[in-house]
Amino acid sequence: MMGTPKMATHPVLTLDTRYRKLPGMAYGLSQPVIMVKIHVTALPGLDLPRLDAALRSYVTEPYPIPAMVEVDASRGLLERLHYWHSALQREYGVPVFGVCRIGNPRPDPEDARAAYYPLVLPCVHARASQAALEWVIKSINLLVTRDSLDQEEEDLLQEGLLALRSAFEPVALGSTNTIHFLAAAAQLGMQVTRLAPDLYLVGQGRFGRRLLSSITDATPAIGARMAGNKLLSAQVLGQFGMPVPFHIVVESEEQAVAAAGKIGYPVVVKPAGEEQGRGVFAGLRSESSVRRAYNEAARFTSATMVEKHYHGEDFRFTVAHGQVVKIMHRKPGGVTGDGRSSIAALVAEVQATPEHVRSFRRQAKHRLDLDEEAVDLLQELGLGAESVPEAGLFVPLRRKSNISTGGDYSILPVESVHPDNCELAVDAAHALGLDLAGIDIIMQDLTISWRDTESVICEVNAQPQIGFRDTPEVFVKILRTLMGGNGRIPCHLLLIEDVEIQAGAELCQHWATRLNCNAWASVAGTWIEGRQCQSRSVHSYAAARTLLINDRVKALVFAMSPADILRFGLPTPYLTSIRVHADQTGESGSPVLRQALAMIEFHTEQIVWLTRHRRTPEPAVAESPGGLAMHAPDPDEDEHPPGSSSSS
């Protein structure tokens, strides 16, 4: 797989199982960090791009591989370790983004080709990061020392991927929208804080905005409730003069059959209160299919609707803040014949595509399968699983077009659509008061006004799946509009060495006045506009964090000791300034102070020293290896803070 075999007596990469996870940020990273040591044995002639290609066959997440500055083969390997460890977690829904920092190596006295590197990585959950590192290191060690993998080695890596789900599940996001919004926030330099599972605050203080998938803090509860009930939304939109399907509400099988006879086949049966196509059965042409569909739909809600089936194409308009930002032409899940393969073989090919593999790894089930719905449709067409459709013939296996059930889509340029149709989608979102919405419209031709053709709004989603493929820029556009800036408030850190708790609080108040900040925090407590909000905190990191998520905070001063920096890291990656209150400056300062400054100097462009000289020097305190506060160092180990970075 990787060219000429490399005979290695030791693994190329070895992970030191001792690591340190900080709840806060350090070394310029915008997420919490995990600090590890990697033993690297350099291999001459290593083809790193081919290594990327090999790993890409196992990790299929959609974010592109960044350009990597490869100073040497060892750092190139570590950059890839960072990228693939992050990409692997993102594929399973763990939101890890941003740069890593590679420290200066310490040579291995027993192997001239080898060295120990300190590595600082973004981290959401220590167990997830460790599991990802172990799998990627195992993969790299196999791939760089083999022409190809034997079946046992291949099975080992695949089994490892499946086992990762248990490590990632506790912290994996429930919505695919969320991870793409968090990626957009990272791209735009916005701080992200997890408030609860799938609920995030983007930004700081008064500029912070809450996101729950594609629901924002500006989404009204009444609008979301109306959109979540198809019966209510149809009634409201109809009163606004918009086209909605003719429907009858039923409460039994017999009523459903009677309603279908009254409306005329084909019909649609669906629950009134579900989204994402759950319990929806379209194109029903017989009494027996209506009975089966009613029983399935009735499992979701007490109110079931039978409505006219409208012939046309299915289009999803994504509306954000009064503007159509994306249009998808959606098609039901199915396969296209090649004249040689059976329908079962074509389904297997679809299941092996990166998009479907990614979905299977996250949900442990296939979006498209030869299930009961597919078999029923094939029978209606006079086909079976072993039938061989002619080349170019599309065979539908789903009655509805939802992506979550195996449907596919193409993107249509907004400017190619008749403006009346975009206005209809915007008006529908406005009628329900939604800032972000997915408007599903059935119509024949998007280039013709809805007024001149048979068109209906079949559904409105207050929490739409926006879709990343082909349009990653949409998440950036929506988030930029929502935030109206980078979401940051002025944040000033007082790095205070050996000051009493009360004196630290007084220093905070003093500098809050000087720097025009309406809030300050220290271990003594938190204050907003001079009012104490919280008494003495467990530690200074927690005190500052409570103010960073408070929307009454316009600008913040917070105090931390060097020891707390080493223990927790920073509560924000973006500091307007650092003011150091210490006894000595620069190299004359205590080792703990120097270590703390090495961790946070990347987070600001302004460091101000406020010093007073002691009469007697402070006793020396040992630093941690490679500038990382991980564990007690060896007596003869050199001390070097991380000095280079790579990005993902």
In a domain, 44, yes or no: yes
Residue partners of 647: CB distance under 8 A and separation at least 6 = 66, 98, 99, 100
In a domain, 96, yes or no: yes
Low-confidence ranges of the chain (pLDDT < 50): 1-9, 613-648
Are both 45 and 85 inside the same structural domain? yes
User: 275, 293, 309 — which closes off a domain?
Assistant: 309
pLDDT score, position 20: 94
pLDDT digits (tens, 9 = 90+) for 182-219: 999 999 999 999 999 999 999 999 999 999 999 999 99
In a domain, 370, yes or no: yes
Give the tokens for residue 314: 């299915």
Are both 357 and 503 inside the same structural domain? no
Are both 280 and 349 inside the same structural domain? no
In a domain, 305, yes or no: yes
Residue 257: alpha-carbon gap to chain centroid: 44
Check which CATH number belongs to the domain holding 266 and give it.
Answer: 3.30.1490.20
Are both 573 and 511 inside the same structural domain? yes
CA distance 233 to 411: 26
3-state helix, strand, coil in the chain (%, to 5): 35, 20, 40
In a domain, 626, yes or no: no
Distances (CA, A) of 194 to 29, 245, 448, 538, 564: 16, 40, 45, 20, 21
Are both 148 and 283 inside the same structural domain? no
200 close to 178: Cβ distance less than 8 angstroms: yes
pLDDT digits (tens, 9 = 90+) for 312-340: 899 999 999 999 999 999 888 888 999 99
pLDDT digits (tens, 9 = 90+) for 349-405: 888 887 777 677 666 778 888 888 888 888 888 888 899 989 988 888 887 777 777
In a domain, 197, yes or no: no
User: 174, 208, 237 — which closes off a domain?
Assistant: 174
What is the number of structural domains in the chain? 4
Helix (H, G, I), strand (E, B) or coil at 603: helix
Rounded to 5 degrees, φ, ψ at 452 are: -105, 10
**Amino acid at the residue 415:** E
Question: How many CA atoms, within 13 angstroms, populate the side-chain half-sphere of residue 375?
Answer: 3
CA distance 50 to 1: 8
In a domain, 439, yes or no: no
Are both 338 and 305 inside the same structural domain? no
In the chain, the largest separation of any two C-alpha atoms, in whole Å, equals: 97
Are both 270 and 154 inside the same structural domain? no
Rounded to 5 degrees, φ, ψ at 380 are: -60, -30
CA distance 597 to 624: 13
Are both 385 and 499 inside the same structural domain? no
Reported residue count of the chain is 648
Are both 384 and 286 inside the same structural domain? no
147 close to 3: Cβ distance less than 8 angstroms: yes
Annotate 87-141 with DSSP letters as a single string: HHHHHTT----S-EEE---EEETTEEEEEEEEEEEE-S-HHHHHHHHHHHHHHHH
pLDDT score, position 629: 40
pLDDT score, position 585: 67
Exposed e or buried b for every residue in 128-161, given b needs 16+ CB within 10 A? bbbbbbbbbbbbbbbbbebeebeeeeeeebeebb
Beta bridge partners of 411: 328
Neighbours of 371 (CB within 10 A): 14
Give the tokens for residue 564: 């707390």
In a domain, 498, yes or no: yes
Beta-strand relationship, 531-534 and 525-528:
antiparallel
User: 147, 174, 201 — which closes off a domain?
Assistant: 174
368 close to 395: Cβ distance less than 8 angstroms: no
Q: Which helix (H) or strand (E) holds 126?
A: helix 126-143
Are both 276 and 131 inside the same structural domain? no
In the numeric block, the tokens 């059965």 are attached to 281
Are both 26 and 158 inside the same structural domain? yes
553 close to 492: Cβ distance less than 8 angstroms: no
Residue 376: alpha-carbon gap to chain centroid: 37
Are both 305 and 353 inside the same structural domain? no
Residue 472: alpha-carbon gap to chain centroid: 12
Radius of gyration of the chain (CA): 29
Domain that holds residue 386: 334-397
Neighbours of 514 (CB within 10 A): 11
Helix (H, G, I), strand (E, B) or coil at 440: strand
Residue 412, classified by CB atoms within 10 Å of its CB into exposed (0-12), middle (13-18) or buried (19+), is: middle
Exposed e or buried b for every residue in 297-322, given b needs 16+ CB within 10 A? bbebbebbbbbbbbebebbbbbbbee
Give the tokens for residue 587: 């190299």
pLDDT score, position 69: 64
Phi-psi region at 264: left, alpha or beta (left = phi > 0; alpha = psi -120 to 50): left
**Amino acid at the residue 172:** A
